[in-house]
Amino acid sequence: MSDCKNGAEHLKSLKDGRTVYLDGELVGDVTEHKAFRNSVRSAAALYDFQARPENIELMTFQPNGSNRRVNRAWQMPKSYEEMVKRRKALQAWAALSCGFMGRSPDHLASSLVGQRMGLNVFRKNGEARAKAFADYFDYATKNDLFLTYVIINPQAERGKDWGEQKEDLVARVVDEDSTGITVRGAKMLGTSSIMANEVFVANLQPLKPGEEDLAFSCALPMNAKGLRVLSRKSYEAHAVSIYDNPISSRFDENDALMYFDDVKVPWERLFLYRDPDACRAQFHDTQGHNFQNYQSQIRLSVKLTFLAGLARRLTEAIGTTRMPQVAEQLGMFAAQVGGVNAMLSGMEASGSQFDEWWVPNKHFMYSAQVLTQELYPRLVQTIRDLAGGALIMLPSSALDFGNPLLKAIIDKTQHAAAMEPEHKVKFLKAAWDAIGSEFGSRHVQYEMFYAGARFVTCGHSMRTYDWQHATGLVEGLLASYDLQQVLKHVQR
């Protein structure tokens, strides 16, 4: 057994008989299916990376009471220094997919780390529920599990409350006995569920009194009886080759609707039960929401750096880098990416002590979230603007290079001062895969919505900003003069 979990172990753990559907059929083994196998291997590669002797210290730590090291994502940082060390491990993982795997295992680990810091929230719902959560955290940590989550309901009739939706649409409790509860209905978009070990179920959207049947939180193995995973279209399956689609052919982490077809949840896997307010508190009164979105910003900082690299190479490919207007656009691009990195450093450095742990500055995290969900589509737009037709005037596929007549024409027409024609085509195909393909388009949607629609993220920002300090400055100014003074002055 290696010092920590490796890729082979992860692949083996996914051969568990889970029920995944694609194109009308049951998928079978996700590690072998042509729609998923490369992405699943990219997930396994994360564990191989951490298990390499030269990376063990960077990537892993030994939890108390464990005889094996696990990824640093499970570490609850006790100081700023530990937080930075942890972040470097997360950035190293994100770099392996250039930030395109949004729900890599460190996302849920971060959420649970933050939730574990607020165990009292679970205690309010009962000592047994708090014990179930603490035990699960321990189990998931020691086994270095890859978890996904479903915490959002299908949109259905958005103008109605969740409890008013059609029966069996939103996942809810339909039965209870001495062994546990039974859940029926759906949650939307479990990203990475095809490559995760377990799914964490909760409610991020507010519930109200009367919606107790919906108000639960639990974790289930992906092969739980009755758990049906309805995959969206696989971009990996439609990738032409690694040369044509170097990103979507390997990093399509997948998104899937989860349908709970009378799934049994044992009591020891039930963390909250029949308590609408506790479902809110699980994320917002603990550090769960803070840590999961802090992880997202860590991952995004890598992805935006990759986009900056794309933008720069693009201008080199078509020879525009030194044009003053293009240089200005690149400078603006770099400033925005630099700003995101600065916000990341800021939320760590201006974090605070929460009990014995160091936690990110919540408002800075929400600021970054609001700004980056708008920034990502803008940066993609800038790359398109810099590119012109270069992203489209490309050979139909790598096979064109195999035809000597076509290769000769490609070599002439893809001329560039800074790149050989073959390299230029290779680069431009990667750029299109990242920003223009169906996969690239899904990423725009992801960055705009993974943390909630804008009215939701702005709401978090509104609630966590120090308005008192801001309005205090305004009132301070107003207090430095008054009407009577002015009137006296005028009368004199």
Q: State in angstroms the smallest separation of the CB of 489 from ligand FAD.
A: 49
Task: Give yes or no for residue 190 binding ligand FAD (CB under 6 A).
Answer: yes
| Residue 166 DSSP one-character state | P
Tokens of 156: 């259905």
Q: Which stretch in 80-88, 92-100, 187-195, 428-436 sits in contact with ligand FAD by CB under 6 A?
A: 187-195
Q: Quick check: 430 and 440 in contact, CB under 8 A?
A: no
Rounded to whole angstroms, how far apart are CA atoms 237 and 245?
Answer: 11
For ligand FAD, the binding residue among 327, 418, 453, 470 (CB under 6 A) is: 453
Residue nearer to ligand FAD on the CB measure, 18 or 69:
18
DSSP assignment of 65-91, as one string?
Answer: T-SSBEEGGG----SHHHHHHHHHHHH
Task: Give yes or no for residue 165 binding ligand FAD (CB under 6 A).
Answer: no
For ligand FAD, the binding residue among 455, 476, 482, 483 (CB under 6 A) is: 455
Q: Residue holding tokens 């109200």?
A: 208
Q: Could you give the angle at which helices 404-413 and 421-435 cross, rounded to 10 degrees?
A: 80
Q: Which stretch in 28-36, 151-159, 163-171, 414-422 sits in contact with ligand FAD by CB under 6 A?
A: 151-159
Task: Give yes or no for residue 441 binding ligand FAD (CB under 6 A).
Answer: no
Task: Give yes or no for residue 151 binding ligand FAD (CB under 6 A).
Answer: yes
Rounded to whole angstroms, how far apart are CA atoms 143 and 57?
Answer: 18
Pattern 166-185, ligand FAD, x by CB under 6 A: --------------------
Q: State in angstroms the smallest separation of the CB of 187 from ligand FAD.
A: 6
Q: State in angstroms the smallest separation of the CB of 152 from ligand FAD.
A: 4
Q: Which stretch in 326-334, 369-377, 448-456, 469-477 sits in contact with ligand FAD by CB under 6 A?
A: 448-456
CA atoms within a 13 Å half-sphere pointing along the CA-CB vector of 428: 28
For ligand FAD, the binding residue among 95, 96, 188, 406 (CB under 6 A) is: 188
Q: Which neighbouring-strand residues pair with 227?
A: 260
| Cα distance from N-terminal residue to C-terminal residue, the chain | 91
For ligand FAD, the binding residue among 255, 275, 348, 433 (CB under 6 A) is: 255
Q: Which stretch in 80-88, 244-252, 339-347, 439-447 sits in contact with ligand FAD by CB under 6 A?
A: 439-447
Task: Give yes or no for residue 191 binding ligand FAD (CB under 6 A).
Answer: yes
Task: Give yes or no for residue 446 binding ligand FAD (CB under 6 A).
Answer: yes
Q: Quick check: 372 and 99 in contact, CB under 8 A?
A: no
For ligand FAD, the binding residue among 158, 469, 488, 489 (CB under 6 A) is: 158
Considering only residues 222 to 251 of the shown chain, the ones binding ligand FAD according to CB under 6 A are none
Q: State in angstroms the smallest separation of the CB of 254 from ligand FAD.
A: 10
Enumerate helices (H) and strands (E) in the chain, giving the number of each: 17, 14
Q: Helix %, strand %, coil % for the chain, to 5?
A: 55, 15, 35
Q: State in angstroms the smallest separation of the CB of 148 from ligand FAD.
A: 6
Q: Which stretch in 189-197, 312-320, 370-378, 382-390 sits in contact with ligand FAD by CB under 6 A?
A: 189-197
Q: State in angstroms the smallest separation of the CB of 391 from ligand FAD.
A: 22
Q: Quick check: 34 and 28 in contact, CB under 8 A?
A: no
For ligand FAD, the binding residue among 86, 103, 116, 250 (CB under 6 A) is: 103
DSSP collapsed to 3 states, 121-149: HHHCCCHHHHHHHHHHHHHHHHCCCCEEE
What is the side-by-side order of every strand in the sheet holding 19-22? 25-26, 19-22, 227-231, 256-266, 180-187, 172-177
Q: Could you give the angle at which helices 421-435 and 288-318 cross, rounded to 10 degrees?
A: 150
Task: Give yes or no for residue 8 binding ligand FAD (CB under 6 A).
Answer: no
Q: Which residues sit at the interface with ligand FAD, rule CB under 6 A?
A: 103, 148-152, 155, 158, 188-191, 255, 442, 445-446, 449-450, 452-453, 455
